[in-house]
Each structure stands twice: as structure tokens, then as C-alpha cells.
Amino acid sequence: MRRSMFAAIGTDSERPPPRYGRRVCSICCALLMGFFLLASTSTTVRAQERGTVTGTIVEAGSMAPLASVQVSIPGTGLGTLTQPSGRFIILNVPVGSHTLRAERVGYATETQEIVVAAGGTVAVDFQLTETALGLDEIVVTGTAGAARRREVGNSISQINLSDVQEPVVDVDNLLQGRVAGAVVQGTGGAVGSGGRIRLRGNVSATLSNQPLVFVDGIRVRSDGYPKSVPPTGYAGRGSNTTASPLNDINPADIERMEVIKGAAATTLYGTEASAGVIQIFTKKGRQGRAQWTAQIDQAAMHLQEFGPKFGLRGEEIVVPPGELQPFYDDYRHMFMDPYIQTGYRGNYTLSVRGGLEDLNYFLSGQFESITGVHKSEGSQKYGLRANLTFTPVNGLQIQTNNSYTRTNLDHVPNGGNAQGIHLNAQRRDQNYFGNADPAVVSELFDYDIRQYIDRFVTGLTATWAPSQSWSHRLTFGYDLAQQESRQVRPWGFSRQPEGILSNQRWRENTLTFDYVGSWSVQLGSEVRSSLSFGGQGITRDQTIVDGQANEFPGPGDPTLSSGAQTLAFEERIRVVTGGFFAQNIFDLKNRYFLTVGLRVDGNSAFGSNLGLQAYPKLSASYVISDEPFWSPDLGVLKLRAAWGQAGRAPGAFDAVRTWSPVGFGGQPAFLPNNVGNPDLGPERTSEVEFGFDGSFFDNRWDLDFTYYNQTTTDALMNVRQIPSEGFGGQQLENVGKIQNRGVELSTNFRIVDRQQWGWNLGGSYYTNESEVLDLGGAPSFSSGVRGWVIEGEAVPVMRGNCITNPDEIADPIVESNCIYGPNQPTFGWQLMTDVRMPGGLVLAARGEYSGGNWMYSNFEGEAYSRGIRWPTCFNVLPARDSGDTSSLTARERGHCLASNADRDYAIMPADFFKVRELSLSAAVPERWMPGASSATVTLSGRNIYRWTKKDLFGFTDPEASGDWNRESSGNIGNVMILGATPPPSVWTFSIRVNF
């Protein structure tokens, strides 16, 4: 619903970021300092009454040290984690006999019996055997509580940060190329740009396809922050970038991530989970002395060439004589050289973890400063985290997870913006100045675009287990996200001499309540039942206040009250989701598992005639390798199958009849807007998946396979209304049907596994075939620039006019409404390898291919239709300038002759391959770092190589998509297009010290 217009707003003044952020930051800093002091003094003075346990843990076979192994003494609450050197120490251990346990994800758990004497030290070493399948490892995502991996009938992808070699910049980058079936594409090289995440393609044609995100069991915002754009006028004014809430999380604080990709696994998340779920688990404290970690990253960022390399016949481009003079020497950065630079990133983190017998803590702080690849562009980020675990009595554990992040972003006007740098620079003397002089175009840097983002997330989880059979978990969570977006085109600005100021205050609160009870009971000697039940409530409140002022009286720092014309807009949204669920796991002989579950939901966005919605699930798991007939020499194999349903709720006002307030004749009035639909309900996605997880050849070869087939019924489609009823336009109705199906394959080979040498080689492959099965009688409709929702085609598909005789020496023969192909990738693969060498050296590399899809290049299409002297057409310009075009192909005439040109010809294949990461890590000798338990230095490169098809003309990086919609961000929009500076290559030097 369009925002309401009110009278001119009152006096305002330009001021620093909101005081709220300062107050929260001050409080968090004070708490963090207090906790650091607690950490520094946590070692007790009872050493003479108790003893110490110390030792080293290595990997069996290679004898390489293992970090992040949890070493504990069950029944005492004592435990710690190993350092990167594999060492551990547990202080204040009670005198007597104990069991010492060592466990780490991916390795078999080992125990040893020890005897501790008063004031004595016991030395214990472990060798852990790798068990890649990890059937007894606990997973959380997709289950009502927690379950062993052997019990789960659907696929779950897990990323453990301890296994990641290179320094991680943000969560988007962490996900790229690591999860089969997850497509995470960058949207540009501007600071703060967020990525687009799709799990098994688009399940909706009209709603967000971002997966849900939970952090430590707390529902947090997953869609991108609102785009910074004035409330009136062209939606492309501004930076055309969108920040991602995921990147408010410091990757150094993350322990692991779990990703489930479809409705078969997301049933218990209910009405909003059909696009998948990402669970992020941050680090927790461990009992023992304080373990400090400091990390410093220093990075240089530069843009690779992203101009076209080949002409329209696939030949090398030859620049016509004098074409670049007098201002340019090359075109490979699309004439952006005077306005770009080498960017720099400095990141500094400090964390500590440890604890007493009943209170454990993890505390961290982060500061990040970035100078962007565009001149006058940069950002600063401050982050704090405090995770505490308190055990007041046996059986009761209380955890609190708190984080605060402040991000300040300085943008430049870019993208398809007539008042921006990119468009005017790349059109040279055919720009809006009629002048290619960089001194003239640089006046656009006076356009001041800033964003201030505050993020505060807090949660409290109480777990009570009165017995081994009973447990209860209660979680309260609160996610507060605030953004101030301010754009100033000052008085005297070259493209808007009178000046324009816009300021938007956006705020969203998400409140989470979640209860899960679990009861396990033995049914006979070989059957066990595990029943889980509970309820969940999510309330999301959003407030947007926009102000705009036009035509300032003179120079100076403007305010919203400075303009001759002032406007104000306000929007308030509340969405409430509530539901309850039950699930039971039947366990026969610890190798046959059957899971049945049901979620029942209500949502405030449902139509008034719609009641509660039920989502069932059914899954099975069979550990065939535990059968007596199975030879251990064959390895470990689990077969699995799952079926389930999940939903996607409509927008807050989609079911409501709405009216747009307007003024008429100086009097208040309104016009019909949305007709409303009392029967409007959620989209419902049903999915079946089956596959297997295996580990063979003495755990040297891991193989996971999944086939999935999901169908979204009651899909919301835009249905045209009868104009005579007074409501024009379209209304969402549950009439459509969408299908996605494909396969996912992941594998890893431990080719060499010796004490000094090791070599792993792995990869993954996925496919996604999307199709609109039924529009329910609704006509085909556009879902964005050149993207369409058409029965029988992908969601969305790129459609437009096309040349049917491209290589003939002739005028183009044009066919209307050609189907070019899907906009989303239809297949992709990833390769990764790491080599461990003597001296603690580790060389790692990771590459990603994405393909089968098509994108529209906005700048390219505009250049064709306007006759711009564009690099793609450089080989054609001599013939065009001479007037003799008889030797040109139909494609050349269609692209480069304005009389034949059509924007649709800029729809091009978007296949690409990138070297995502290349890193070299080395352990620093202890003698070089006195006082430190271990240290590691890493040199890494990101996005250092790119390949694209020859017929991707113009911009040669499909991840330069930017953000082109006013109401939906680049993270939400269902159509990817080209029209931004691509993500830069980044070289990082990092040092990490543990002490």
C-alpha cells in the first residue's frame, strides 16, 4: 500500500546518528569491559585443593593437531576447547577418578579414565579418528528440538567455521560455493552490498524467496534492508545498493551454520519457511581459564576489467582510432578509471571464552573500516557480542545471547541513475552533461548518500531437563533493526541546481517466543519413541517515516524544513504469526527411524475467511551399514527419504481492501487501490526428497546425494480486476502452481593423509528445473525488467524480441516475445581442494561455476536504443560512421544501428566461473610469539579470476546486478539484471593469535 501523504513536516536539523545507538553502544561497552575483567580473573585460587588436566589432541593417522575439540569431564561441568596447536588445559578438577571425553564434529568421540590428585597435573593425549558422516552428531535445524544425524530423513548442510581456512569477510561470502543447491550471488562492488540467496530456486513468483534466518534459535530479519531512495521520483536515484542483515554478524563469532533447503525439512517452521531455513550458531563459553583470540585482517580491493572483451562476431575488440581521446587510454573498466581506486579493508577482532563451574562466557568486539573501490565511498562497523551460559542447579541451563552492531555507510550515486557516476561516465560525451571530461562528471560526487544501521539482537533460552527422558526449552528473542537513510543533492548541484534532500527513518522489531518439550520413552527392548511438542509466536512491527524537501533558498547544510516544498510519508506494518507443532521419532534398533510431524499456523496477513493452516511432514532414515550383513569394509551408508509441506504468507495488506489518500480541489480525498481478498491465504509448498549419505574406503571418500521435487500450490498470482467495479490494476489470488526439481551431489576425497602431508579434493553439483505449471487462468505478467511469469516456463523467464538470423549478412529478422531462458541458474558446480604440507603450511582453493540462466544488461540495452558509442560496437563503428553497413551481420545491425536497435537484444547468457578463494596459511613458530599458545598467518585472494561466455556482451560479470526496485531490495527481487560495478578482487593478509 502506498504511503499516506501529510502536511509539511516541522523543523528538523541535520544531526549525528540517532542517540539510541550511542546509548546501547555505551551500555554494551561497559558490560563487555566488566566481562573482560571477569574473564581475566576467572581462575580460582583453589589449585592446592584440586588438580589440573592437560594434553594434546591430534588426528589419528596424520597426527595433525586438532583445534576446537571439546574436552570435558561429564558430571562436573568442567570443560574447554583445544587451541589450534591441539593443546588443552582444564583447571580446578576435583580430586578423584573421572572420565575425560574428547569430541568434535566429524570425528569419533573418545574417552579416557583419569585419576586426579590434590595439586597434581594429569597429562592425557588423544588421537581422534575422522568419521565424516558423523551419524551421532547432533543437528538442530529442521527438528522440533535436537536430533542425531542418523535419525534425520532430510538433507542438512553444515558449515563448521573451524574447517574454513581463509579469513571470512561476511556471512554472504561464507555461504558462497559451500552448499550444494544454494545460490548466493553478489549484487555489486559498492560497500555494504548484500548477496541474493536462493535455496533450490524460486518457490514464489510474487513474494520474497529469501530463506528464513535464525541466530541461536532467535528469528531475525532475513530480507535486505530498505533501499535508500527518495520517496518520490525515479526509483533509481541513489546508490542502487542494499545492505544485508546477515552481514551484521561477525563471522569470527560463528561456531557453525546449518542449512535446510526445502519444505520437506522446514515443515516445523510453518507459514513462512517454504524458501528454506538458515540457522547460525554463535560461539559459547567453556569452563576453564580465559582463552583469548585476536585477529587482524588487512585487505586490498581492486576491480578486474569488466568491459567487453569480444565483439558481436566473437572476435577481439579493436578500438577505432581516436575513440578514447582525449580523456581515456582504455575502456576495460568501462571508462570508470578516473572514479575508481584501490580499496582497503581493515578488520580487528578480539574475543575471549572461558568460565567458572556454573557460569561460562564468550565475549567479542569488532571494528571494521573500509575504503571502497569508488572514490568518496567507505564504511565503518562496530560490533559487540556477549554470550553467557549459567547453570544455577543441576538440570537447568540458562543461556543469553546478545549482540550490537553499528554500521555507517557512505555511498556514491551509481547504477542506472541519470544523476549518478556510472551512467554519465560510461556514456562519455553522450551523457547528460554532453561532456566526457572527468572534471565535469566528478561534480556528481557532491551527491551525498549515507546510511546508518543499528542492530541489536538479544535472546534468552532456558533449558530444563528434570530427567534423561524429559526436557523443556523456552526461548525469548528480540531483534531490533534501525536504519537512517539520508540523501542530499545540495543547492547548486549540477543536475539539480535547486537541491533535494530526503531522509528516511526505518525501524523493525521482531519478537520471538518459542517453547519445545521433549519426552523419550522406551517401547519394548528395541523400540524407542521421542515425542516433541511446542508452540511458537513471531511478531514483526515495522515503521517507516520518509521526508523530502525540494528547492533550497541557498547554499549551506539543508534540513527537511529548508525546502520551498516539503513532503512527509508514513507507513506502519504489523505481522503476527503463531502456531503449535508436534513431532515423534520412532527408533527401531538404532538404525530404522520414522518421523511424523505436524505444524498448525495462523497469520495476521491471511484473509478474514481463512482459518488455521496445517503443514504435515513424514520422513524415514535407514542406517543400512549397521545391519549384521553389512561388512565394515564397505563403509558407512544411510538411506533417507522425506515429505513435507511449508508455506509462504502473503504481504501484510494483500488481503485487505485499501485506498490511496489524495488531494482534490484543495480537499482530502481517496482513490481505490487494492480490492482485497478475504479468502487470501499462504502459498503451500509440498516437497519430496530422497537420497543417501555415505562414507567409504576407510572414511576417505564421502558422498551425499539428494533428489528433490517440490510443488507450490495456491501460488499467489497477479489477477486483473474488472475496471467497472472501481478497482483497477491487479489483485493477488491463490490460483497458481509452480514446480522446482533437481539433484544435489556433494563429495570429498582424502587422497593423501599422512603426518606431514595431506591432500583433500572435493566438490558439489546441483541442478534446478523450474516451471510454472498453472496460472489459474491469470494472464502472463511481468516480474521485473524483461522477466516474466509464463505458464510452462521457469520462474521467472527472460522474454523479449530476438534476432532469428544473427550471423547472416542481412537486416535483422525479428521475432516477438522470444523465450531466452530462465533468469535463475539451472545448474552449478563447485570445486575445492586443500594441501597440508610440512611446517604447518596449508594451501586451499575453491572455485564456483553457475550457469544455464539469462540476464538483461540495463546499460547495454539503453546504449543500443540510444545509439551510444558503446565498446561492444567498437568493431562496427567504422562502418556505421562511414554509412556503409552492407558488410554487417544482422546481430551487428540490430545492436549497433539505432534504427534497428531494441533493448531486448541485451538479454544475454549469464554463465560464469570464479575462483572464489585461494589461500596459504602457516603456523607461526612458538619462539616468534612469546606468550601466545599459537598463531597463524594467512594470505588469501577472493574473486581473483573470472570466466564468462563470449556472448555475454558489455559488462562481463553477472554479479554486477545492483538493486533496481523501490519497494523490494536486490536481496528480494526475483529478476537479476546487470547494471552495477562488479564485486572486486580482494587480497587479504591476516594474523590470528591465541593466548
Selection from 609, 802, 844, 740 nearest residue 209 by Cα: 740
Which helix (H) or strand (E) segment holds residue 750: the answer is strand 730-753
What's the predicted TM-score (pTM) here?
0.88
pLDDT tens figures, 218-269: 999 998 899 889 999 888 899 988 899 999 999 999 999 999 998 888 888 8
Furthest-apart CA pair in the chain: how many Å?
Answer: 98
Sign of the CA dihedral 378, 379, 380, 386?
negative
CA distance 584 to 147: 11
What's residue 752's pLDDT?
A: 92
How are beta strands 51-59 and 121-123 bridged, if at all? parallel
Amino acid at 609: N
H, E, C per residue of 181-230: CEEEECCCCCCCCCCEEEECCCCCCCCCCCCEEEECCEEECCCCCCCCCC
Query: What are the phi and psi torsion angles at 75 (to 5°)?
Result: 90, -10
Q: Which residue has the cell 569431564?
A: 73
| Structure confidence at residue 647 as a pLDDT band (50, 70, 90) | very high
Q: What is the dihedral angle through the alpha carbons of 244, 249, 252, 253, rounded to the nearest 10 degrees?
A: -160
Q: Please report the pLDDT score of residue 133 as a whole number.
A: 67
What integer pLDDT is reported at residue 15 of this predicted model? Answer: 39
At 18, is the pLDDT very low, low, confident or very high (cuts 50, 70, 90)?
very low
Overall average pLDDT of the 853-868 stretch: 92
Amino acid 75: pLDDT: 73
Find the mean pLDDT for residues 455-470: 92
Give mean pLDDT, residues 903-914.
Answer: 95
Residues in the chain: 995
Give the model's pLDDT for residue 929. Answer: 81
The pLDDT score that the predictor gives to residue 978 is: 78
Residue 377 has pLDDT above 90, yes or no: yes
pLDDT for residue 671 is more than 80: no
Residue spans of alpha helices (H) in 551-668: none
- CA 755 to chain CA centroid, Å, is 37
Which residues are bridge partners to 362 per DSSP? 353, 387
Confidence band (pLDDT; 50, 70, 90) for 41? very low
What pLDDT band is residue 415 in, cutting at 50, 70 and 90?
confident
Average pLDDT over residues 683-691: 96
Name the residue type at position 945: Y
Query: Could you identify the residue written with the cell 542438512?
Result: 156
753: closest CA among 129, 161, 110?
129
Give the mean model confidence (pLDDT) for residues 344-358.
Answer: 92
Question: What's the CA gap between 29 and 42, in Å, rounded?
Answer: 20
The segment with the largest mean pLDDT, out of 21-30, 225-234, 487-496, is 487-496
Please give the pLDDT value at position 858: 87
Residue 49 scores a pLDDT above 80: no
Residue-wise pLDDT tens digits, 611-639: 899 999 999 999 999 999 999 889 999 99
Q: Which residue has the cell 513474494?
A: 207
Better pLDDT: 155 or 41: 155
**Range of lowest pLDDT (815-829, 836-850, 925-939):** 925-939
What pLDDT is recorded for position 971? 35
* pLDDT score of 805: 96
User: Is the pLDDT at 202 greater than 50, yes or no?
Assistant: yes
Check whether the bond before 796 is cis (ω within 30° of 0). Answer: yes
Q: What is the DSSP letter of 193?
A: P
With contact defined as beta carbons under 8 Å apart, do 729 and 660 qualify? no
Q: If you average pLDDT over every residue of the chain, what do you get? A: 88
Q: What percentage of the chain carries pLDDT values higher than 70?
A: 92
Using 50, 70 and 90 to split pLDDT, how confident is the model at 658? confident
Query: Given the C-alpha cell 544475454, which residue does it identify?
Result: 908
The pLDDT assigned to 709 comes to 97
- What pLDDT sits at residue 385? 98
- In this prediction, residue 665 carries a pLDDT of 66
In the chain, count H helices and then E strands: 8, 50
Q: For residues 974-982, give the mean pLDDT.
A: 80
Q: What is the pLDDT of residue 82?
A: 82
Please give the C-alpha separations between residue 373 and each of 223, 330, 618, in angstroms, as whole numbers.
Answer: 25, 18, 50
Give the count of beta carbons closer than 10 Å to the beta carbon of residue 633. Answer: 8
Taking 60 as the threshold, does the pLDDT of residue 206 lie above it? yes
C-alpha cell at 671: 482513490
Average of per-residue pLDDT across 756-781: 93
